Each structure stands twice: as C-alpha cells, then as structure tokens.
Structure 1
Amino acid sequence: MMPPHYLRCLSVVLLLICCQLWSVHWTAAAAEGDPLTAADEGLQAEPKLQAEAAILMDARTGTVLYAHNADKPLYPASITKIVTGIIALETAADLNSLVTVSKEARHEDGTRVFLAEGEQQTLENLVYGMLVNSGNDAATAIAEFIDGTKEKFAERMNTFVRDKAGAAQTNFVNPSGLPDPLQVTTALDMAHIAQYAMKNETFRTIVGTTKRPWKGAEWTSELINHNKLLGTYEGATGIKNGFTNASGFTLVASAMRDEMELIGVILKAPTNNGIYADMRKLLDYGFAGFELKKLFDAGESYPQPAEKGAPTFVASEEIWAVTPRGEQPDIRVEPSGSVQVQTSKGMIAAGKMTVIEPGVNDEPLQMSGKQVYEETGNPMNLWLIFVFMAWLVMNAFLVFIAYLRYRKKRKYRSPEW
C-alpha cells in the first residue's frame, strides 16, 4: 500500500488539476461574453424617465435599445416639422426657388420667423427658419408652395411617412404641429421618420446648425436652434424639439460617437428641463451599454460546413449589428440567407445575404476571420483548450515522477522483521 505522505501529495496534485480546470472554464466564459460575467458587467441599468413615452434606436440598423410606451399615440407638436422639412428637400427641384408668403402663412399661430404677406424667401431659407427657429409661418409657406394648401400637403405627409419610413400609427393634418385632436404619432414612428430623414445630408446639416443669420422684410436677426443638446452634449447631431399645452414637451434627438449614431424620441415630458435630462439619460444608456459591430463587408462570403451540394452566402452590402458592450455575439446565417445575431439581450435579425446555390460558382471561397469563428468556434477557445491540455500533461508528469520516487524508495527500504 502507498505510504500516507505520498497519498497526500497525490491528493494535492489532483486538487490543483481541478482548480486549473475550473479557472480555465470561467476564463473561457468571460472571453466568450458569458452573460453571467462580462456581458452583465457591460450592461447598464435602464434609465427611469419622467416622460410618458420614449424610445432609443440605433440609426444605422434600426435596432431598438430602449422603449417605453413606444406605440402609444400622442401629440407631436413641432417635431412634425421634421416631416415637412425632409419632404421639402426631397420634392423641390431647386432649393433656391422663391416662395411667396401668403396671408394665411403671415398670420399663422405660434412660433414664427415673422414673414410678411407677399414677402419672398428662398425655399432653403424657409426650411432653415422652420427647422432651426421652429417657424410655423415658414412651415405653412412651404406646404402651400409644394401642394397649394396645408390640407393637400398633409395628405402628402401621411403617404410619405407610411411609404418611406414605415410609420403606420401616425396622422398629420398640418405641416407645423399646431394642436389638433387628429394629429398624432408614436415614439416608434418618429424614430423611424428621423432615421430616414438623417440619411439626407442637407437635412442633417440644417438640424445640426446652431445659428444662422436671418434677413426678412419685417425681421432681421439670427436664427437660434431651440435644441439645447447641440453644443452641450458630446456628439449631438440634431434634431428637433416641440411644445404645446396639449402635447407637453417633445424631443427627437440624435448623437454620434465613434461609428454609432443613436436616435432618441421622447413624447409628453412634463417640463423643458426634464425632457433634456431624460434625453441625456437615454443617450448615455445607449453609448455606455452598447456598441456597433460590423459582421460582414460587402462581397464577403459565408460558407456552410463542408457538405457536398450545400449553398454559400454573399453579403451584397455591409451588415452591422448592435450588441451589448464587451459581448461576443453568436452569428448564424439561416438557409434563407437571413443573418441572425444572438446576444444576452435576445435574438435580432441583422440583415440578409444572397444565397448562392451549388454549381453557380465553383471557385473555392476564402474564409474570413469571422467565418472561421463560425465554423470552428472562437479562436480564444482553441487557445484555452491548448493551455489546459499543457497543464494537464504537466500535472500527469508530476504524478508520474512522484510515483517513480515512491517505487525507488520502496525498492531500497529495509524489510521489516
């Protein structure tokens, strides 16, 4: 029988092996973004807002990162002008076209740039006056220039947001956002509308303008952007605020850091200071807790496991996904070509790849680093397995040496009588 002190040594060695196995397991979990370790540490607590409805969306992918009553119909107030502005920019053949101000536009209620009846301004100036200084008179002048009346223009607005932005729960009856029981939108719809509008570089420039000289027939001054985030919040790029007694305070805001631009919408906040405090919380939450990752470059291929007759997939454009910060997502391509991304926040569809059936292109496909990850697992896992095996072999060697020493001592030990 083996002496007790050798049994104790062997027990210690076995205990060390178990500890090393446990350590490798949790190191691998952290490297893969295990939701019990790295992922949880990266996720921030969702913000608590004062407003009645809110949403936070990634501008590139449309991924919703936060939502509260996002489908609840509420009054938009002057964020309506986002729609009037993008329609004007996309419809007009020439932004230098002269617009003659009507009597109705001259006497419009609410915030104005003090247009005079019969005054002529370029369409571009009117869009600036509407989006920067929130001029209701400028909004009416734009609508009448494009469609003759505010009513006809409102029909265009509803068709536009439905067809271009997929806004299904929004109804406009005027171009400025003045109170009307039938003029309603949702936080989700406004996020989609803003996402669409910000793809227009001219629109983006206008809503990011803080000051601009204004020279009119009755008012010469400087347009001051009412959006208080511009110049005070890191990366702020736009977009538009609003207020009426019926709507409360409303705000659509955007900000960009690194490659990720976020769009936040807040409806029916109780105070002006409160809505900006809420928006800062919302944007901070998004930037602190999430990151934008490119999954595939345009033209990059994704092979299935090596199976005869299996299809391959090619990305016709860049495919991106927003994931919890510090987390490694699980990327899968379905037989239809749909790219699915699994994270601790759930499964999202990130885009679609073109399916190439066998025989269409017989040339071998080069696998990218991301594809190697899909086929073989995370390279970090392979390294950890190698390290573990090395430790296992070393410990087995130590056990073997201990056994030889035991045999040697036993051989030369004097017999007991």
Structure 2
Amino acid sequence: MKNIFLYLIVTVFVLFSFQYNVFAEEARQLDLKSEGAVLLDSETNAILYAKNADEKMYPASLTKIATAIYAIEKGNLDSIVTVSANAVRQDGTRVYLNEGEQVPLKKLIQGMLINSGNDAAVAIAEYLDGDVKTFAESLNSYLKNKIGVTNTHFTNPNGLHDENHYTTAMDLALITNYALKNPTFAEIFGTKVLDWQGQSWSTRILTHHRMLKGELPYPGISGGKTGYTTEAKQTLATTAGNGNLKLTAVVLKSDLKNDKYKDTAVLFDYGFKGYQHETINQGVIFKSGNKEFYPESDIVITEDVSGNIKTVNDEGLLSIENNNGQVLQKVQLKYKDPPKSKSAEIKSKKANKKESPLILLNTLIGLLLITGAGTLIQRQRRRKVSRYY
C-alpha cells in the first residue's frame, strides 16, 4: 500500500513538473517569423531565447563566419593568395576577382564578410588547404574540436547550397561568439564600408546587413552577416550592445527579407529589457548535499531581471535558471576538500603521542647497540696487541 501511495505521489510530481515546463515554454514564446532563432549573451554564452535552436537548417552565407575565423586563426593575414580559375567561376555574390590575381589574405576575408564574395571564399579555402574538399574536412574538424559545435557539417566555404551543408541556429551563434573574441574578426564583422581596389574594378564595397548599414536603425548594432539561397531562405547573424550587455542573435529560414530584421529587433528588445550581468565572487560556497563547491575566480553570469535560482549538482555544475525554469547558463565550479573532523585530529594527535615514546626507545636501543659493538671491537684489538708482544 505504501509503494502504491509513493508511486502516485511521484506520478503527480512528474506530471506537475511537465506541465510547469510547458507553461514556462509557452510564456516565453516571441512572435517570430523565422523558423529557427537563438539569442545568446555574446560574452557568457547564456541562452536567453531559443526557437528550434538545434534543428538542422541551411545557413547560406552565414557559413562565411566560420570560414573567416578559421582563416584568421590558421593563415597569415599578410600572405599573398593567387586566385584560381575555380574561385573566379563561383556563382552568386562576388568581388569580381580575376584568375591569377594576387590578393592579401586579410583583403579576401574582408571581401567575403563585408560584400559576401563567394569567389573570395573559395580563394581562401584553396589557399588554406589546397582544395575545397580538404578545406571542408579541416573546417568541420576545427568547428568540432576547437569551438565545440556538434550539429554542423559544411561542404564548402561560402554556403552555396548542398544537401550535406547544414548547421543549427545554436551552433551558428556559438561560432559567432567564439569568433568575436578575435579582434580582427570583430573589426571586419562590424565594417560598413570598405574601399576596394582590384584588377577588374575599383569601388566601395558595402555591407549587405541593413541594420548595420543604418537603413533599418537599431541602437548599438556592432556587426552582422546576411545570407540567402532558395533552399535556405533568408538568414541573418547580428550583434549589438547597450553598454551593459552584448548580445548575439541568429535567425534562420525567414520567408521575407524584412522578417529576419524584424525578428532580430524583437530578440534584442527582449534581451536588453529582460537580462543583466552579475558577478559571482571568487570563493563563494555552493552546497550540494554534504559537498561544497566554489569558483576559482570571479565569474560573470547573465541573470533574468525578474529573478533567478542557482542550483549546483554533485559534480559541481552550477545552473542559473529564471523563475520560469529556463536554464540560462551553466558554470563548472571547483570541489572544496572537506576539513578534517575534530575526532580525526584527536586520533592523529594520540597516534603521534604513542609513536613518540616508541621512536625514542628505538633510538636508545640503537645507540646502545652501536656503543656495545664499539666496546667489543676495542677489546678484541687490545687482545691482539698483547699477544703480539
């Protein structure tokens, strides 16, 4: 009877928890047209909003964010790249490179990110790894092992459609946040206009991102990249800051071009209004049962302005949740070794006291044995001398 009663209690608790989480999920829905969307804190990677965040989708030219940071970290920005015929033949948006043209690597990255040059992307890939196929293999390994994304597979450097070329909104946001830590990437990602001198044309290339360009004004926009193919539809990655928070928004698969910008503005409004930073000071103790954990240094976390709950598990993983049960961030803490109990200290002292007389006794016995041995040796020597005489 007790077991049946316990089972009923557990069942009710599970059902209640499920209903609560569903309610929390529904309460947090924003009116977004894009099929996939993620809003992250650019500095802490806290997840502030997610819609179909882990669903595999086509990124189109947002691929170039990954290509850019890979090229910046692997290549020499001042090295000269010779453009191939294959690069020149690329479809879609280009910076109109000529076959045999020699261009610094950094300039190619600028042309790829700012003006979305598909030809520049292939020139970069061939310079770094010899050919596009080898580049894609190296890029996928880099994204998995260096950045830690697991739902991304790229077959080319520019995002032209391929059924096996996919990622997720979450992975793209994490890739963007990783890239933003590099000053060269951040500079190019935020560039609106660049004078371009090439063999085939001299012009001023402009970012395609309408919020970054100022056509659709939003305060604090700091960088962005657009994307579009027929299969991927409209895609957009954007960063912004308000002096307190820096946010990264990624939206995928919008039907209309303006929808991706409206969705991005909705995400930023939501993030800047509802979240803030807090610092957990070094050495603050968090308990899980009898275990204690602490941060080794000051940690900046992202919190919901309406309230938060901090919990730590037996492995020392600290979870920051808002009042709706949404996990915003997880931080690994360090285990604190428990102090010795008084009884253990007393036993240790007693053991030391017991050992001290024994050590003294053994020392005395050793000295007596050495003295006795010395005396015997002296007597034997005297006997030998007396016999000789």
| CA distance 1:150–1:101, change in 2 (3 Å) | same
Partner residue, 1:315: 295
Partner residue, 1:120: 102
User: Are the aligned partners of 2:81 and 2:104 in contact in 1 as well (CA < 8 Å)?
Assistant: yes
Q: State whether structure 2 residue 255 is matched by structure 1 residue 270.
A: yes
Gaps of 5+ in 1: 1-39, 361-417
1:148-173 Cα offsets, whole Å, 9 max, x none, are 10111011111111112222121111
| CA distance 1:96–1:185, change in 2 (3 Å) | same
User: Are the aligned partners of 2:239 and 2:248 in contact in 1 as well (CA < 8 Å)?
Assistant: yes
Partner residue, 1:234: 219
4+ residue runs over 4 A deviation: 310-314, 332-335
In angstroms, what is the RMSD of aligned CA positions?
2.3
User: Are the aligned partners of 2:309 and 2:323 in contact in 1 as well (CA < 8 Å)?
Assistant: no
Aligned match for 1:194, one of 155, 161, 176? 176
Separation of aligned partners in 2, 1:202 and 1:167: 22
Partner residue, 2:230: 245
User: Are the aligned partners of 2:53 and 2:168 in contact in 1 as well (CA < 8 Å)?
Assistant: yes
Aligned match for 1:352, one of 321, 332, 335? 332
Counterpart AA for 2:323: S
Mapping of residues 6-405 of structure 1, within 5 Å: 46-92=29-75, 94-230=76-212, 231=214, 232-296=217-281, 300-303=282-285, 313-327=293-307, 329-334=308-313, 336-346=315-325, 348=327, 349-358=329-338
Structure with higher Rg: it is: 2
| CA distance 1:184–1:336, change in 2 (3 Å) | closer
Separation of aligned partners in 1, 2:28 and 2:52: 18
Compare relative contact order (CA 8 Å, sep 6+) and give the higher one, 1 or 2: 1
Separation of aligned partners in 1, 2:107 and 2:321: 47
Separation of aligned partners in 1, 2:140 and 2:192: 29
Give the aligned length.
310
User: Are the aligned partners of 1:301 and 1:312 in contact in 2 as well (CA < 8 Å)?
Assistant: no
1:50-81 Cα offsets, whole Å, 9 max, x none, are 11211111222222222212122111110000
Residues 227-236 or 240-249, more deviating: 227-236
Aligned to 1:157, what secondary structure does the other structure show?
Answer: helix
Shift of 1:311: 6.9
Counterpart AA for 2:298: E
Gaps of 5+ in 2: 1-23, 341-389
Aligned to 1:217, what secondary structure does the other structure show?
Answer: coil
Partner residue, 2:375: none
User: Are the aligned partners of 1:115 and 1:217 in contact in 2 as well (CA < 8 Å)?
Assistant: yes
Separation of aligned partners in 2, 1:182 and 1:304: 45
Separation of aligned partners in 2, 1:218 and 1:342: 55
Separation of aligned partners in 1, 2:236 and 2:206: 16
Aligned to 2:246, what secondary structure does the other structure show?
Answer: strand
Shift of 1:103: 0.7
User: Are the aligned partners of 1:77 and 1:178 in contact in 2 as well (CA < 8 Å)?
Assistant: yes
User: Are the aligned partners of 1:314 and 1:356 in contact in 2 as well (CA < 8 Å)?
Assistant: yes
Separation of aligned partners in 2, 1:60 and 1:184: 25
Separation of aligned partners in 2, 1:253 and 1:85: 15
Separation of aligned partners in 1, 2:161 and 2:72: 25
| TM-score scaled by length of structure 2 | 0.75
Counterpart AA for 1:146: L
Shift of 1:342: 4.1
| TM-score scaled by length of structure 1 | 0.70
